[in-house]
Amino acid sequence: MRPARAAVLSTPGDPFTVQQIEVGDPLDTEVLVRLTATGLCHTDLGVRFGAIPFPRPGVIGHEGAGVLETVGNAVTGLSPGQKVVLSFSSCGHCDGCVGGSPAYCRTWHALNLFAGARDDGTSPLSRDGTPVAGHFFGQSSLAEYAVADVRCVVPVPDDADLTVLAPLGCAVITGFGAIRSVLRVQPGTSLAVLGTGAVGLNAVRAAHLAGAGPIIGVDVVPERLALARDLGATHTIDARTHDLPTALAEIIGTRGLVGVLDTTGDPTVVHAALGALGTRGALALCGAPPPGTEFAVDIQSMLAGKRIVGLTMGDAVPADLVPSLVALHASGQLPLERLIRHYPLDDIEQAVSDMHTGRTVKPVIVF
């Protein structure tokens, strides 16, 4: 056991409170990471505000980056002192994992979201001798130390700036994976990205690097739309002041869009985007509204070869995608600094507020 300061959630809807907890030793297939930084994601906010169930008291966080302290007895290829980025967990042996799609692991929800514990029911975290829920996305990285599943761990170069690379594990792989693996955007692909938060802006950047065009960013925050243009959007639409179907039609004409990525989960926005799809166009959904949220589909229009597909974590394999994103950042082609604002752990509630209001695209907690 080692002491660590952590952002603890106690009662649903109540704020994070920074408390002292104890972090246990890693099991055979786990590692202990001394966190340098952790990104805040909308999934974290969903738990914080009570929309996503998670046991209390508990520690969440799933965009961790840090340095390996110790590794479990069965861990190979990793050693103390290595810098790592943490992503999501998966079992490694179900059809999804074996087939190269760990984001669709058969036990994904239990491993990453709801259980608050390992498979054996234990948590590596405690407070005054009493267990604290952890193992969120196999890491619970809103703490100075995290015990993480080895399948969460991706090594990065020794000179990597972890305070910038922390969001790679969720927001960045989701945006890039949606463009590369799900929509399979090619040069000249017409694309709309609905919602230009961290996921959407990374999707815009991925589409730009792929040579897509036109690339249309849609949001209600002017500063984010300006940033979308800087990152490669050829057009932007402020949905507060423009009718979305009309504005899309003015840009794409009658040919329709080849691809749409929705990060909003807003049924009205999704319905408008579906209507803007052209023949054999694809609508990818990664926004996460409350369960039971629906939107209407004109079945007749779908017979033009249109597709609707949901996605988790960009259908990415972190061990494959994260290193390529690190290289893009190192070469200057992925300016993550433009999205990030740093906050100390004690200011986590300010980070939550700034993200919720749109002041900050991607808060990163630094330890």
How is residue 364 written in tokens? Answer: 């990163």
pLDDT of residue 212: 97
pTM of the model: 0.95
pLDDT of residue 288: 84
Are 86 and 75 a contacting pair, CB within 8 Å? no
How far apart are alpha carbons 163 and 340 in whole angstroms?
9
- Asked which of 129-138, 150-159, 290-299 is least confident by mean pLDDT, the reply is 290-299
- Express each pLDDT in 34-80 by its tens digit: 999 999 999 999 899 888 889 999 999 999 999 999 999 999 999 99
- Express each pLDDT in 333-356 by its tens digit: 999 999 999 999 999 999 999 998
Q: In whole angstroms, what separates CA 337 from the centre of its chain?
A: 16
Q: In whole angstroms, what separates CA 187 from the centre of its chain?
A: 25
pLDDT at 13 over 80: no
How far apart are alpha carbons 81 and 325 in whole angstroms?
22
- Express each pLDDT in 175-220 by its tens digit: 999 999 999 999 999 999 999 999 999 999 999 999 999 999 999 9
- % of the chain surpassing 70 pLDDT: 100
First to last CA, the chain: 19
pLDDT of residue 190: 96
CATH top class, domain 2-169+335-366: alpha beta
Average pLDDT over residues 3-24: 94
How is residue 184 written in tokens? Answer: 């399979």
Count Cβ atoms below 10 Å from residue 29 Cβ, excluding itself.
Answer: 15
pLDDT of residue 313: 95
pLDDT of residue 206: 98
Minimal CA–CA distance to 5: which of 19, 16, 25? 19
pLDDT of residue 50: 85
Count Cβ atoms below 10 Å from residue 74 Cβ, excluding itself.
Answer: 10
pLDDT band, residue 139 (cuts 50/70/90): very high
Name the CATH superfamily housing domain 172-314: NAD(P)-binding Rossmann-like Domain (3.40.50.720)
Q: Which residue is associated with the tokens 């408008």?
A: 272
Average pLDDT over residues 267-294: 91
How is residue 359 written in tokens? Answer: 């002041």
Residue ranges of the domains in the chain?
A: 2-169+335-366, 172-314
